[in-house]
Structure 1
Amino acid sequence: MALPWLLLLAIGAVAAALRYGLIESSTIGQQCAAIRSPWWCTWRQGLVLGFLHNVYGIAALVAAAMSLLSRRLWLAWLAAALGVFALQLYCVESGALAWLVGCLRLLRAQANARMAPVEQHRQGQQQVHSQP
């Protein structure tokens, strides 16, 4: 039950490492501005264009909407993971909404999984029989 939440923490750590280590680093920015830039500068440029055009936020919102419509556990986790990624990479509003929806759907799915065996026998125990 804790694995999805630990994976969300890992996604947040990777997104933070990308943001602070690759995007916001002034030395890396200077290296990529040089005439002969390293090969990974195209990946950095792609990340920057992604948050400039709100790609991460839109992807997170699409996953959140799909998780609400289909009620699948993996879609709820994907919405939360993309929301965390979008939050770290400057798509704050859409990332926060997707993260919230994904986490709430994930919590609800986990609660339903725990309650299913209890609810199964609850109806039979509430019936009153007049004769043994």
Structure 2
Amino acid sequence: MGVALMGTAAALAITNPTLKDYQTHAGEQLVELATDEVCGQRGLPMLMRVWLKDCPAVIASQQTSLAALAGQVSSRLDLGLLSVFTTEVGGQRLLPGLRLPRYTITTVGVAGQFITVNTHSDQF
């Protein structure tokens, strides 16, 4: 039994996600959040929605930039077997006159997987 527990603990420690792993995951999550916020009914003004034919594609094209941004504004609490990542992002300009809402995202990384435990958005 002790060997099994030590083996499990070692496996968790080895698969504990890094900040770089989280950065990729956060970029995907930020694309989803930004698409919901910016491309939804309350996001873009009507004139911008008419002009911008495929808002989700425009946001998706920024995934690499959003992932890099997440890497800069995220912190990692390494607990050995798992990590807690906190990302605070927002207020960045996506298009002239359009800003990304502010977000605070708390995610647990364990066994190479990510579980978002809290997402908070401040509308402005």
Q: Is this a same-fold pair by TM over 0.5?
A: no
TM-score by length of 2: 0.33
TM-score by length of 1: 0.31
Structure showing greater Rg: 1
Q: Higher relative CO (CA 8 A, sep ≥ 6), structure 1 or 2? A: 2
More strand by share: 2
